[in-house]
Structure 1
Amino acid sequence: MKYIFILLSFGLCCFATHPLWAQGNEVKIIRPQEKKSPLAMATYKNNDLYLKVTYGQPYKKERSIFGELVPLNEVWRTGANEATEITISKEVKIGDAGTLKEGTYTIFSIPREDKWSIIFNTELGQWGDTKYNETKSKNILTFDKAEVSRLEDKSYEAFTILFEDASKGTVNMLPLWDNIKVTVPISLVK
């Protein structure tokens, strides 16, 4: 009797754990998508205004950038990996294009020779610009007059976004790469 009880207990244990053995072969490990460019961040704080931009930071690596790696007159994610995002603490005015309320937005751009279009979008979590669809996009503001200037004495190996105090009450967001500087004026709405 004792022998039968031990045998049944052993058999029950084997039968009960069999699904666990089978699952061992089916377990898939989900790893985050590999990012080829590091994550970078720029912040700005002045009185009540706080701005934060997070973006993938691609490097030039001896490549020709604007017009080749980043085509002109086409939507670009303004960085690498996920679409660039900006967080704004108070309502701001973007140049003469209009205002953005407090919140987080994705930034896309359309590079051109003399002026860039900067597109602010409410659809967060987008990967790159390959899924960007203008007709489905939740664009809320497009600034078409972002000034482009060529830097004579400096070149940026890594795509960089900086903030720079401008005139009273205005800060410029500066996307910089290679010898190109783009100026996007941002001012606090009072």
Structure 2
Amino acid sequence: MKNTSTILALLVGTCAFAQMKFPAVSSHAEIEQKVGLTEFEIEYNRPNINNREVFGKLVPNGEVWRTGANENTVIKFDQPIKVNGKELAAGEYSLYTIPNQKSWDVIFYKDAKNWGNPQEWKESNIALKVNSPATKTKGVKLETFEIRFTNVQQDKADLVLAWDDVSVVVKLETNTKQAVLDMIKSQLNENSPARDFYNSANYYYTNKLDRAQALKWINKAIAKDAKAPSYFVELKEKLEKEKY
């Protein structure tokens, strides 16, 4: 009985000192977005206005901001991209910004393990800095800070930073076209299934590339599949009729 009582006492004591959990003041968010063949991930914390004056006061103009709350905002992508027309290697970066009234500097920083801003800011850690216009959203105020992707296409997308009545758009471009062309060149062969020949022909047709080559591939696809779907034949007809 003595041993049992001791164990129970220890358990009660342990429970008494268990850490309590409270909701975060700024909610945590994760975003995943595929642009063409490039995978993007963003992890950040979302502060609220809470009746405060945001830009120029809570977030001072001309100073480095963590672009969110708590830990630094982190962005990852698995293939090289262009940001506002400038090249940036694939990898993981902190996304820092320097807000101003008319435009923001957007900084991709190599050290992605900070609570907020780095204790020591190193210019050598700046992988890329670009500038984007800051637009006022008339009559609309966003209570919670938001990062989102819009206008997502096969080879580009807009990365939007929005809070209060300010919106900043960063232009992203991926290497989708070259990646697809390289894949076709290295992988498409006589043993490839009909579907691969169809997809290759359709990609060429959609992007207005070598029509003669696309015709060869769609003919190959139809020849390989005795039960080829009707859209195989439809693509062949389009390639034969349309000139580009």
TM-score, length-scaled by structure 2: 0.60
1:163 and 1:171 in contact (8 A); partners too: yes
Structure with the higher fraction of residues in strand conformation: 1
Structure with the higher fraction of residues in helix conformation: 2
1:36 and 1:81 in contact (8 A); partners too: no
1:43 and 1:163 in contact (8 A); partners too: no
- Aligned twin of 1:90: 79
Task: Give the superposed CA RMSD.
Answer: 2.8
Report the Cα distance in structure 1 between the residues aligned to 2:67 and 2:49, rounded to whole angstroms: 14
Report the Cα distance in structure 2 between the residues aligned to 1:91 and 1:171, rounded to whole angstroms: 14
- Aligned twin of 1:174: 160
- Aligned twin of 1:138: 125
- Aligned twin of 2:117: 129
Deviation at 1:53, TM superposition (A): 1.1
The structure-2 alpha-carbon separation of the partners of 1:150 and 1:132, relative to structure 1 and needing over 3 Å to count, comes to: farther
The AA in structure 2 aligned to 1:140 is A
Higher relative contact order (CA closer than 8 Å, sequence separation 6+): 1
The AA in structure 1 aligned to 2:170 is V
- Aligned twin of 1:159: 145
Deviation at 1:50, TM superposition (A): 1.6
The AA in structure 1 aligned to 2:155 is G
Equivalenced residue count is 163
Report the Cα distance in structure 1 between the residues aligned to 2:79 and 2:68, rounded to whole angstroms: 24
Deviation at 1:58, TM superposition (A): 0.4
Deviation at 1:90, TM superposition (A): 1.2
Report the Cα distance in structure 2 between the residues aligned to 1:128 and 1:99, rounded to whole angstroms: 26
The structure-2 alpha-carbon separation of the partners of 1:118 and 1:132, relative to structure 1 and needing over 3 Å to count, comes to: farther
1:44 and 1:163 in contact (8 A); partners too: yes
1:104-138: CA deviations, max 9, x gaps? 11111000111110110111211102625144x51
Decide which of 152, 173, 189 is 1:187's aligned counterpart.
173
2:36 and 2:154 in contact (8 A); partners too: no
1:52 and 1:87 in contact (8 A); partners too: yes
Deviation at 1:166, TM superposition (A): 6.0
- Determine if the alignment matches structure 1 residue 118 to structure 2 residue 97: no
The structure-2 alpha-carbon separation of the partners of 1:166 and 1:47, relative to structure 1 and needing over 3 Å to count, comes to: closer
